[in-house]
């Protein structure tokens, strides 16, 4: 027969397990890749983080926090800064505090760069699952 304290311990463990399982706010949790991600463009000429993983149909928002930057797919599928070329915006590199949200419909790996700083390694990758 179980003592009262062992029943209480078991109940406490269950509570701890439930709390831990509901506190996971990681963007790539065991529930799968995120619907959205944010990539900051920094004045040290990097994308941060340089690799993000989202679901197919998810979006990435690129935010210029400083510097003369744009975000251009290596395969030419998008070129954006103050909006995107071909959809009413202007993908030319710009120094203002622009942000742009791009949807990635297809699974795969999408490498991109900043045209101004690609030669010094300002590149990134969106992994779409």
Q: Does 114 bind Cu ion (CB under 5 A)?
A: yes
Cβ atoms of residues 82 and 94 within 8 Å? yes
Q: Does 38 bind Cu ion (CB under 5 A)?
A: no
How many C-alpha atoms does 15 have within 13 Å on its Cβ side?
6
Q: Which residue is nearest to Cu ion (CB)?
A: 114
Which residue, 12, 36, 31, is CA-closest to 21? Answer: 31
Q: Does 81 bind Cu ion (CB under 5 A)?
A: no
Q: CB of 112: closest distance to Cu ion in angstroms?
A: 11
Binder to Cu ion among 54, 122, 126, 128 (CB under 5 A)? 122
Q: CB of 61: closest distance to Cu ion in angstroms?
A: 17
Binder to Cu ion among 117, 124, 126, 128 (CB under 5 A)? 117
Q: State the greatest distance between any 2 C-alpha atoms of the chain, in Å, as a whole number.
A: 75
Listing DSSP states for 35-80 in one string gives EEEEEEEPTTS-EESSEEEEEEEEEEEEEE-SSSB-EEETTSS-EE
Q: Does 94 bind Cu ion (CB under 5 A)?
A: no
Residues forming the site for Cu ion (CB under 5 A)? 69, 114, 116-117, 122
């Amino acid at each position: 027969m179980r003592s009262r304290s062992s029943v209480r311990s078991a109940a406490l463990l269950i509570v701890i397990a439930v709390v831990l399982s509901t506190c996971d706010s990681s963007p790539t949790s065991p529930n799968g890749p995120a619907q959205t991600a944010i990539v900051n463009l920094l004045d040290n000429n990097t994308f941060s983080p340089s690799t993000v993983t989202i679901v197919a149909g998810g979006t990435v928002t690129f935010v210029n926090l400083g510097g003369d930057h744009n975000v251009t797919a290596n395969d030419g599928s998008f070129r954006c800064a103050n909006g995107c070329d071909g959809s009413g915006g202007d993908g030319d590199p710009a120094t203002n505090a622009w942000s742009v949200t791009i949807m990635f419909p297809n699974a795969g790996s999408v490498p991109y760069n900043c045209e101004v700083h690609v030669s010094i390694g300002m590149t990134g990758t969106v992994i779409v699952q």
